[in-house]
Each structure stands twice: as C-alpha cells, then as structure tokens.
Amino acid sequence: MLSLLSLFLLSTSILGSPLGDYEKELKKEGLNVENIHKLLKEESKEVEEEFGNKEAQAEIKKLRTLYASTCPANGTLQEVKTELVINGELAKDLFEGDIVLTPEQWKIALEKDPENPMQRRQALTQAIQMWQPMGAPVIPYTYEPGFPADKKQIILESQRYWELRTCVRFRPATSADRNVVSYNHNSGGCSSSVGMNGGKQTINLAPGCMSVTIVAHEISHAFGTLHVQSRSDRDQYVQIDTANIQKGLEHNFMRDPPYYGALSTYGIPYELGSMQHYSEKAFAIDRNRPTIYAKTAYSQYQYSMEAPRATFYDTLLINKMYKCNDRCQNRISCQNNGVQDGSDCNKCFCPRGWAGTNCEKRPADAQIVNLNGSDKLRVEVGDGVNYREKLYIIQAPVGKRIQATVNRVGDRQWNDCRFIGMEIVPTKDTRNSGFRFCANSRIQPITSDSNTMLVWVYTDNQRFNAEISFTIGN
Ligand SMILES: [Zn+2]
C-alpha cells in the first residue's frame, strides 16, 4: 500500500502527463475511474445549481455591469502569471487548479450513499492529516533529483517565512524519516497536496513558480489549508459566475469539497484578501471577466483576492490548526488586536501597522504621513530585483476621518494584484486585509473608520508607484 502510494505520488509529480496516466494510477489504487467521472459531473452540476437560482443570477448580472464599469480597458493590462496561469491545461488534472488529491481523498469523496448520490456521507471526521507533534510540528524536507542549487534559496526563504510566524519547523530529511516533503522542479506547474499524506509527498514548483509568494502558498496547502472560497460559508461573500467557467471544470468551485471530510474554519473569519483565496479569473472562458465576484456588500474587494503574502488571518489559521500557543507556559497581553505569537511565546504577533513586544507601537520602518488638509501622496516601492514592501501610515487629527481616492496606479498596470500592487486598509482593526489596487480600476473613494489609514505597497521583483489624494472629513 505504501509503495503504491509513493508510486502514485511520484507519478503525479511528473506533471504534464495526460489525465490517462493519472487515471491509471488511480485504478491501481483500486479506485473506480468511472465513478470519479460521475462524481466530477455531479459536483459541477451542484455548483451550477448553487448559483443558478434567480436571486444569484440577478446579483451576478449587476456585478458584471459594475465590473465592466470599473475595470480598465481590455488589452491595456499586463497578465500576471499566477499558479493557474502557469499550470495552464495541467490545472485540469488537479483540484482547484493547484491541489493534488491523494487516492485516500478520492475514496472519501466517493463514499456517498449510492441511493442518494447528492447526499454526502454524514459525520465525516477531519480527513486532513497534520504534521506532528501538535504544538511543535516538524516537517522533514528534501529535493527531487535535478532541483537547481541556485533555486534552493527561495525554498529556504519560504520555509523561514512560515517559521518566523508559526510553530512549524523544517529540517533536512534523513533516511530515517518516513513522512517527507520533497520539492520538485521538473514539473509542469505549481501544486501541492493538502496536509501530510504519509510517505514522501512532492511540492511541485516549475520554473515559473519560484517566488516566495507561490512557494509559501503551496507550503500552506502542505500544512493542511484549502482555498478560502471552498469554505462552507462562502456563499455569504462571493458569487460564482458559472457562465464564465470552462465547461466541465465547475467542480473546482465546490463549496465544502467532499475530499477532506469534515472541515473546520478554526474560527477564522472569511477573508476575500487571503493568500489562499482564488484569483477571480481562475478557469475563466473570458479572462477579462471574473469567475468569482465579491458580493455587492464586499464589491470593493473585487481586485483584492489572492494576497502576495500571508495575511494576519492566514497566519492565525496555521497557528490554530497546529495549536501553536498550547505549548506556551505564559500568557501575554497584546494591544491593537495582536495575539500571542505562534513562533515565540514571549511576544505578540501584530496585525498590519503595529509592532513591538505587545503590538504597542508603530513599525520603525513605516512612513508616517500627517495630513494637513487636502494632500496628494506618491507611494512607491521596489528595486526591480527583490521582493520589497513599504507601509505608509496616514494620520488625521483625532476625531477626524480620512477619505482616499486613488488617482493613478503606476507606469504599468496588471490584471491581478497577486505580486505587485497596493493595499489600502481603512479600518482601525487591521486584522482583515484591505482593498488592493494594481491598475486604474475606477473604485469609489475609500473612507476610514478612524483617524488613521494604512497604505501598504508591495512588489515581487519590479517597481510600483501610485498617487493617492487624501481629504480630511468628519
Ligand atoms: Zn492553492
């Protein structure tokens, strides 16, 4: 069983192989491929039905019109190479574009009541396996043959990124390790399985996937996270436009997908701006239009899906999943919505705009901008080579509020804010991510709920600039 599983995992790592080979492996695992086909069809139907009702269709129609009126003209934007763009046709062999399902997960999904196929088996337990031990999980890692030495630095940086924020630790695998993550560069795309599979599991990272942005996202899947839009409460936040999804791929937009058993959100609120939320144009027929719309109440988030780095809540999710704070003997009090740090019990993990042991002060490298009345600010970041970010803290007199209007974005503009852009956080509670801009989308002015507003700019390896106007109001 174990060797077959490794064989399966090995074969799925040879990405680019046609679905035929993939199916052969599933057959070897004793899975009924015809039932899988049936399952995918049912799932696609389920998604279509979920959003096929009159009310949803009416809202989608409104959202399409709104999008058309705020989106910059087609053809003027640079296409951003997200995982799904890189994966291309390959994404069809995966789940939700970048997830490798294990035979066990397929089996779980197929375990339905044959008399009532639309009814999922009740009382499924959590089927995502976690790395052990809880509270201090260790992930042994290695590289598949041929992994270029000069790309290993990005892996180490991405692992370090998570180690600094969570209690998860990585160490080079030894021959005694049974459960190992292996980074594979000889693949067609970027993908990972969800949680610990048991045995060796590959994180596939083709040449286009070699950035901390993508590697950290794929590692998060290996920790056990799914995409946010598959949460059971997603229908309160997003509308899926199935008319713009390539036929037969609708199953990738399932709510509460059955492959993982009972899912928990760990009490984390739904976040459109999460690092694990799908890009809005995934699997689109017309890539100038979204497949996922933020519902009317959240439409300012339309360009905010898929963060370049883990958000506060993305980080909290990992720390809750692995019970990172359970090992802390002490309790520490944190200000400004901070929480005890998953990586270090003696300090707080702070939401954006806060720093210090107890989140009591502003980050030393933030630029404070005190408004005088009507101010124009040019924000910029990037050296054209490395990942760079910069935070501006905009302040008005106490008791006043700030209105921001984005006048102009950059010299170049992008169709997705994953790797480059600007985020405006208008809320005093900065745990939730804000509104992102990476093109001259005509979004209405943004008003703060206190006398401060954050502007966070970021770029992977380019340069970004924008101009914002601020006015002080009551
Ligand atoms: Zn993903």
Domain ranges for the chain, please list them: 1-327, 367-473
Dihedral angle of Cα 314, 315, 316, 322, to the nearest 10 degrees: 110
Report the separation in Å between the CA atom of 436 and the middle of ligand 1, taken as the mean of its atom positions: 20
Q: Using CA atoms, how far apart are residues 466 and 459, in angstroms rounded to an integer?
A: 12
Cα Dmax for the chain = 70
Distance (Å) from CA 301 to ligand 1 centroid: 19
The predicted model gives 69-84 an average pLDDT of: 83
Superfamily covering domain 367-473: Spermadhesin, CUB domain (2.60.120.290)
Burial class (CB in 10 A: 0-12, 13-18, 19+), 360: middle
Average pLDDT, integer, range 425-451: 93
Domain 1-327: give its CATH code.
Answer: 3.40.390.10
Half-sphere exposure of 225 (CA within 13 A, CB side): 28
The pLDDT assigned to 115 comes to 54
In sequence order, the β-bridge partners of residue 183 are 143, 203
Q: What is the C-alpha separation between 3 and 39, in angstroms, rounded?
A: 27
Q: How far apart are CA 137 and CA 145, in angstroms?
A: 26
Burial of 118 (0-12, 13-18, 19+ CB in 10 A): exposed
- Residue 188 reports pLDDT greater than 50: yes
Where is mean pLDDT largest: 35-49, 68-82, 158-172, 405-419?
Answer: 158-172
Nearest to 19 by CA among 4, 2, 36, 6: 36
Instruction: Give SS3 for 413.
Output: coil
CA of 44 to the centre of ligand 1 (A): 19
Distance 94 CA to ligand 1 centre (A): 10
Which value, to the nearest 10 degrees, does the dihedral of the CA atoms of residues 445, 378, 432, 261 take?
110
The CA distances from residue 259 to 5, 109, 189, 255, 400, in Å, are 17, 5, 22, 11, 50
Average pLDDT, the chain: 90
The pLDDT assigned to 16 comes to 37
Pairing of strands 169-172, 180-184: unpaired
Tokens linked to 255: 């709510």
Are 137 and 167 within 8 A, CB to CB? yes
Q: What is the DSSP letter of 263?
A: -
Whether residue 198 has pLDDT greater than 50: yes
Ramachandran bin of 99, using left for φ above 0, alpha for ψ from -120 to 50, beta for the remaining angles: beta
The answer to whether domain 1-327 and domain 367-473 are alike in fold is no
163 labelled catalytic: no
Binding residues for Zn(2+): 217, 221, 227
Query: Mean pLDDT throughout 358-383?
Result: 96
Cα 226 to ligand 1 centre (Å): 7
How far apart CA 424 and CA 311 sit, in angstroms, is: 14
**The pLDDT value given to residue 298:** 95
Options 218, 250, 271, 423, the catalytic residue: 218
What spacing in Å lies between the alpha carbon of 99 and ligand 1's midpoint? Answer: 6
Beta-carbon-side half-sphere exposure of residue 417 (alpha carbons within 13 Å): 30
**Ligand 1 centroid to residue 108 C-alpha, Å:** 20
What is the distance in A from the centroid of ligand 1 to the CA of 218? Answer: 6
Separation CA 339–CA 359 (nearest Å): 9
Which of 120-124, 374-378, 410-414 shows the highest mean pLDDT? 374-378
Ramachandran bin of 412, using left for φ above 0, alpha for ψ from -120 to 50, beta for the remaining angles = beta
- Asked if pLDDT for residue 204 goes beyond 80, the answer is yes
Where is average pLDDT lowest: 16-20, 27-31, 57-61, 237-241? 16-20
Which residues, 6+ apart, have CB-to-CB distance to 339 below 8 Å? 316, 319, 325, 348, 349
Condensed to tens digits (0 to 9), the pLDDT of residues 245-289 reads 999 999 999 998 988 887 889 999 999 999 999 888 889 999 889
Q: Distance (Å, rounded) from C-alpha 322 to C-alpha 334?
A: 21
Is the separation of the CB atoms in 225 and 318 below 8 Å? Answer: yes
Going by the annotation, the residues of the binding site are 217, 221, 227
pLDDT of residue 71: 83
Are 204 and 189 in contact by the 8 Å Cβ rule? The answer is: yes
Backbone angles phi, psi at 109, to 5 degrees: -65, -30
94-132 pLDDT, tens digit each: 899 999 998 888 888 888 655 555 555 444 456 789 999
Provide the pLDDT for residue 253: 95
Strand 169-172 versus strand 138-143 pairing type: parallel
> Which residues, in sequence order, are bridge partners of residue 380?
465
What tokens does 226 get? 């799914």
